[in-house]
Amino acid sequence: MSVLCYNKGCGQRFDPENNPDDGCTYHPGVPVFHDALKGCTRGPHNKEKPPEPVKPDVTSSGEKEADDQTKPKFNEYIISAPKPQEAICRPSADEPMVRLQHKVSASLKQALEKLKLSENAAENKEEDSDEIKIGTSCKNGGCTKSFEGPASDSDVCLYHSGFPIFHEGMKYWSCCKRKTSDFNTFLAQEGCTKGVHLWRKKDAGKKVVPCRFDWHQTGSQVIISIYAKNSVPELCYVDANSTTLNIHVIFEGEKEFEQKISLWGVIDVSKSIVNMMAAKIEVAMKKSEVMSWARLDLPPPITPPKESEIKKEEADSEDEDE
C-alpha cells in the first residue's frame, strides 16, 4: 500500500517496500519561491510527518522563552535564502535568436540521394505527358482525397486554409481552431474551407502539414523528436535563444512544418545541436542547470481582468441581487 512522502518539495505517494536511496527529489532547506525551480537533493522517500513548530511562550516583558529541548531540530540546518541580487532570473524571450548547428546522418544522405534519382526519373516521364497519375494526393492542407480519374476534378475539396498549431498539448488548425489532444483525431478533422483540389506540386508549392513530435529529458538535456522523413538539410533550420525555440522543417520534398515553443526551462544555446536523420530530426538542448523540467513548454501568463471588466461583473452581480 502506498503512503505519502513528507519530504519538502515531494508530496508523492510511494511504496515503503520499494524505496530506493535516490527515489525522492526534495528540498532540505527552507522554501525560496522562484520560477522553474524544483527539488535539489536526492534521497529515499520519508513517510514520517515532520513535527509541528513549537510556539514559544511570551513573557510580560515581551521576551520570547522556549526550552531548547522542545525546539524542532531541523531549525539547526536552515539554509539562508540568497540575496535578491544573487537570485537566478529567467532570461528575456527577446534575446537574439541563434541558428543551431545541425549534423546530417549518413542514413539521411543516402535516402536523399535515392529520392533525387527517383524524382529525376519521374520528371523525365512528366515531360512527355501532363497526365495526372491515379492515386496522386491532393496538395491542399488537411485534404485526404486522391486522384481517381477525371471525375475527381469536379469533387469539392474540403481543406484547411490555415496552418497547424501545437501548443500546451493541444492540436488544432489556425483557421477553425477545433482543439484536441489526440493526434489521430486531429489528422481526421474534416477541412473547414471548400475549394478545388490541387494535384500538381508546381501549383501548390509547399504544403503546410501537421507533424508528430514528442520530447524526453535526461538530467542535463532536453531532446525533441520531430518525425519528418527525408528532411532537406539546406531548407531546414532551428533558431533558439535561452528560452525560445523556432523550428522550420521541409521534408519529403513538398511538406513544410513550423513550430514555435516557449521553453519551460532555460537552455545553453552554444551547447545545443540539431541531429538530422532519415526518419526524424532531434533537437538536443543542453539545460543551463541540471534539473527536471515539469513540461516542455511554458504555460502562458494569466492576464488579470481589466478594471472595466471587474466593475461590469460587480454591476451585474448587484443587478442579480436586486
CA separation for the pair 233, 278 (Å, rounded) = 11
Q: Which fold has domain 1-52?
A: btk motif of tyrosine-protein kinase itk (4.10.1130)
For the domain with range 93-115+206-300, which CATH number is right: 2.60.40.790, 3.40.50.970, 3.30.1150.10, 2.60.40.420? 2.60.40.790
pLDDT higher than 60, residue 25:
yes
**Residue range(s) occupied by CATH 4.10.1130.20 in the chain:** 1-52, 137-198
Residue given cell 545553453 in the structure block: 268
For the domain with range 137-198, which CATH number is right: 3.40.50.800, 3.40.50.1360, 4.10.1130.20, 3.40.50.720? 4.10.1130.20
163-218 pLDDT, tens digit per residue, is 777 776 788 888 888 888 888 888 888 889 888 888 876 544 566 778 888 999 99
CA separation for the pair 228, 19 (Å, rounded) = 41
**Residue range(s) occupied by CATH 2.60.40.790 in the chain:** 93-115+206-300
Q: Which three cell numbers stand for residue 318?
A: 448587484
Cα torsion angle, 294, 298, 299, 305, sign: positive
Can you give the pLDDT at residue 100? Answer: 95
Angstrom CA distances, 250 to 103, 233, 258, 312, stand at: 16, 8, 9, 49
Which of the listed ranges 105-109, 116-120, 140-144, 172-176 does the model predict with the highest average pLDDT?
Answer: 105-109
pLDDT higher than 60, residue 54:
no
CA separation for the pair 64, 57 (Å, rounded) = 6
240-291 pLDDT, tens digit per residue, is 999 999 999 999 877 888 999 999 999 999 999 999 999 999 999 999 999 9
76-101 pLDDT, tens digit per residue, is 433 333 344 333 578 988 999 999 99
At a CB cut-off of 8 Å and minimum separation 6, what does 32 contact? 81, 82
Residue 58 forms beta bridges with which residues? 64
Angstrom CA distances, 310 to 144, 153, 318, stand at: 47, 55, 12
